Structure 1
Amino acid sequence: MTSACKSIIDYCFNELNIKRIEIRTATENQKSQAIPQKLGFKNEGLIRSSELLYDRYVDHYVYGLLNEDYNGLI
């Protein structure tokens, strides 16, 4: 999954010249959180009751990555 995300990020930043990419993950899903962390995203905050999932609302972490920060990681 991480390599697929990296390919999409490369395309968005280098071909489409997008300024910012955001990833949201459920706060209880540590495997999903590992992906943006490995890719250099910064945890920018918490969105409470962000999604109705299996009959209950779950909180999300928001991870963000700016084009200039990503190009500095390459």
Structure 2
Amino acid sequence: MKSLENFARNLRRLRNERKLSQEELGFQVGMHRTSINNLESRRHSPSLKNMARIAEALGVKVDDLIQDPE
């Protein structure tokens, strides 16, 4: 699924650009570090609720998380 791959890449890129650890981002959105790791490595798909929380914490729109990173 292409959108899940895009989400994982964008999540990692945006998190790193903001110099946040997985643990720091997880704390901001109410998720455990391992959940963030599972999202970034495509082991799990995010719920819409978590996707919205992550987008807000990173200061982007949900669209920015699922668009093609190229």
- TM-score range normalised by the length of the shorter chain: under 0.3
**What TM-score do the two structures reach when normalised by structure 2?**
0.26
**Max Rg structure:** 1
